[in-house]
Amino acid sequence: MKRIWAPWRMEYIRSPKSQGCIFCEMLRADTDADNLILYRGEHCFVVLNRYPYNNGHLMVAPAQHVDGLDGLTPEALLEMMQLVNLCIDALKQTMAPDGCNIGMNLGTAAGAGIKDHIHMHVVPRWTGDTNYMPVCADTRVIVESLRDCYARLKPVFDALGSAESSQ
């Protein structure tokens, strides 16, 4: 029998679950560090994924609650892609990945965990990061806490974001 200890999951299990949209709620909450929001743009924002595929797994979501790209304004579409680029720059500076996966799951059938509010994933990847753990043991190893990852990324997003807004 395999045992993987993850005591930090108990916080999630015991926490009250919202019936609303998590993205809309975190934007209204105005507690960015608690919600792991790294950057707020005019139309979209960047947040660290609480259930990451890899360390540094980011999501870019529009502030507008829509379930498809066709519901976004041209300005929000443009900013979404600009923020994906900002994410890649921040990840390169802080984590030096060998590459990144960028993707979006539209609808439940496509694997969307949150199907009513679109969001794009930016996942840093390193050569050899798919090793025996996920392949043989069906287990992912996340080597850095979300808080530590947030603390490392936040100043870079602040610097990159202010440089971008001054252009």
* Paired sense of beta strands 99-103 and 58-62, if any: unpaired
Q: How large is the C-alpha radius of gyration of the chain?
A: 16
In a domain, 14, yes or no: no
Confidence check: pLDDT of 161 > 80:
no
In a domain, 116, yes or no: yes
Of 43, 57, 119, 121, which one is the catalytic site residue? 119
In a domain, 8, yes or no: no
Query: Which of 61-75, 102-116, 126-140 shows the lowest per-residue confidence on average (mean pLDDT)?
Result: 126-140
CB-CB neighbours of 95 under 10 Å: 17
Higher confidence at residue 5 or residue 135?
5
In a domain, 76, yes or no: yes
Which residue type occupies 5? W
| Alpha-helix residue ranges (DSSP H) falling in the chain | 9-14, 22-29, 32-35, 74-95, 132-136, 146-165
Active-site residue 119, yes or no?
Answer: yes
In a domain, 141, yes or no: yes
Q: What is the pLDDT of residue 89?
A: 96
As to burial, measured by CB atoms within 10 angstroms (0-12 exposed, 13-18 middle, 19+ buried), residue 46 is buried
Confidence check: pLDDT of 136 > 50:
no
Backbone angles phi, psi at 116, to 5 degrees: -90, -5
Q: What's the number of domains the chain is made of?
A: 1
In a domain, 144, yes or no: yes
The CATH number linked to 103 is 3.30.428.10
pTM of the model: 0.80
pLDDT tens for each residue of 55-81? 899 999 999 999 999 999 999 999 999
As to burial, measured by CB atoms within 10 angstroms (0-12 exposed, 13-18 middle, 19+ buried), residue 6 is exposed
In a domain, 101, yes or no: yes
Nearest Cα neighbor of 146 from 58, 19, 27, 44 is 58
CB-CB neighbours of 112 under 10 Å: 16
Structural domain including 67 reads 19-165
In percent, the amount of the chain with pLDDT more than 90 equals 59
Q: Binning pLDDT at 50, 70 and 90, where does residue 22 land? A: very high
pLDDT tens for each residue of 117-130? 999 999 999 887 76
In a domain, 2, yes or no: no
pLDDT tens for each residue of 8-17? 566 666 777 6
